[in-house]
Structure 1
Amino acid sequence: MKNESTPVDMPESSSVAKGKAPLIAVSRDEKGGYGKGIAIFDFVLRLAAIVTALAAAATMGTSDETLPFFTQFFQFQASYDDLPTFQFFIIAMALVAGYLVLSLPFSIVAIVRPHAVGPRLLLLILDTVALTLNTAAGAAAAAIVYLAHNGNSNTNWLAICQQYGDFCQKVSGAVVASLITAVLFVFLVVLSGFALRRH
């Protein structure tokens, strides 16, 4: 007795018929949407960091006060340019703000092309350098502001903020703005690293 087999026709799925493998993982479009969301958030953080960096530099640059109870020829005055640390702070924060403005086109490229690795890697490296500069300037200025508020009895440095209240208020505000900028830079670096890891 002869065994005969009958072929059974199976309909091909549309993806196999077109020569494509069925999608199991997340599609590229969904990943692109996720990457675009990260890039948009990156752009918004850069705008916020520009505002805080410029505010820090401008506040420090306008911090001066003259005590009113002295004559025209004999006055006590406190200004940012009396201390090289505050001058360095203004230059550093101006450089950071300038870099952030120049980085905006690269951030826009990351929004338009969320899968591009080059602009994101460049931003990660430059953001780390800018974060270092920002932190150095903010920490140095914070040390001087601490001395202005509390003084140091061991070295006979007197606290001047009781006399120069407006000056100390402005330089303290500038330091706080620089520290906010540093925190925004930390978020930018983490976002860039996370976006690169997903590639």
Structure 2
Amino acid sequence: MAKVVQLEHGEASTGSSPGINKGISILDFILRIVAVIGTLASAIAMGTTNETLPFFTQFIQFRAQYSDLPTFTFFVIANAIVSAYLILSLVPSIFHIVRSGARTGRIALVFFDSVSLALLTAGASAAAAIVYLAHKGNAKANWFAICQQFNSFCERISGALIGSFVGIVVFILLISMSTVAVSRR
């Protein structure tokens, strides 16, 4: 039963509005789909990134691919795991649309969303450091910027980062909305 609260001007208001909870649940579902698209696209873009450049002759070539760097491999694995979790989390999200008063499922989603946010942030942050070095290099460590030579490679890995960071922002919104929805009950 919803508690009735008397406002200053004499109107009565319920403490928990089912319309707002249903709206939060629908927004939760939509944001999960956006996060699936961002993280899955990031994993695919990074996982299929490679570029080969000829050097002097066609028999000697330089090749850059994501698997050359363990950080990019971790990035692909982290995004793939988070994408799989997000796809599985669509089922409870639909359940919350139907039954907007379900609290236990929402608390479980907050926990798993937080774990996924940590994993996604770790992968994206590590990859961002390598992408920065690929673009700018580091003269003190004698690491040369490779993006002048491997332009297509760098464009794809930078684009993959964008999708992953979109996923991070969406997770922050999901966790915030779910905690507000749980605290309203």
TM-score when normalising by structure 2: 0.91
Shift of 1:116: 1.0
Q: Alpha-carbon deviation of 1:67? A: 0.7
Letter in 2 for 1:184: V
Cα deviation, 1:17-76, whole Å, max 9, x if unaligned, reads: xxxxx9854348x71111000000000000000000011001101110001454343110
Q: Which runs of 4+ in 1 moved over 3 A?
A: 22-25, 68-72
DSSP 3-state at the match of 1:160: coil
Percent identity for Structure 1 against Structure 2: 51
After superposition, residues 17-28 of structure 1 pair within 5 angstroms as 25-27=12-14
| Contact 1:45/1:188, CA 8 A, preserved across alignment | yes
Task: Give the unaligned 5+ runs of structure 2.
Answer: 7-11
2:159 maps to which of 173, 179, 195: 173
Query: Could you say which residue in structure 1 is the equivalent of 2:53?
Result: 67
Q: Does the 8 Å contact 1:93/1:137 carry over to 2? A: yes
- Report the counterpart of residue 19 of structure 1 in structure 2: none
CA–CA distance in structure 1, aligned partners of residues 57 and 27 of structure 2: 54
Q: Which residue of 1 aligns with 2:114?
A: 128
Tell me if 1:52 matches 2:38: yes
- The normalised TM-score by structure 1 is 0.85
Aligned to 1:187: 173
Question: 2:9: which partner in 1?
Answer: none
Secondary structure (helix, strand or coil) at the match of 1:67 reads strand
Residue type of the alignment partner of 1:125:
F
Residue of structure 2 aligned with 1:159, choices 110, 134, 145:
145
- Classify the secondary structure of the residue corresponding to 2:172: helix
Q: CA offsets per residue over residues 151-172 of structure 1, 9 Å max, x none?
A: 0111100000000000000000
CA distance in 1, matches of 2:141, 2:55: 28
Q: Which residue, 105, 120, 130 being the options, matches 1:144?
A: 130
Does 1:117 pair with 2:103? yes
> Which of 93, 98, 105 pairs up with 2:84?
98
Does 2:37 match 1:39? no
Conserved? CA contact 1:70–1:76, under 8 Å: no
Q: Which residue number corresponds to residue 7 of structure 1? A: none
The answer to whether the 8 Å contact 2:54/2:60 transfers is: no
Rg larger in structure: 1
CA distance in 2, matches of 1:35, 1:70: 64
Aligned-partner Cα distance in 1 for 2:108–2:150: 44
3-state SS of paired residue (1:76) = strand
Work out whether residues 55 and 62 of structure 2, in 8 Å CA contact, stay in contact via their aligned partners in 1: no
Q: CA deviation at 1:135?
A: 0.4
Residues 128-155 of structure 1 show CA distances to partners (whole Å, capped at 9, x for unaligned) of 0000000000000000000000101111
Please provide the CA RMSD for this pair.
Answer: 1.6
Q: How many residues align?
A: 177
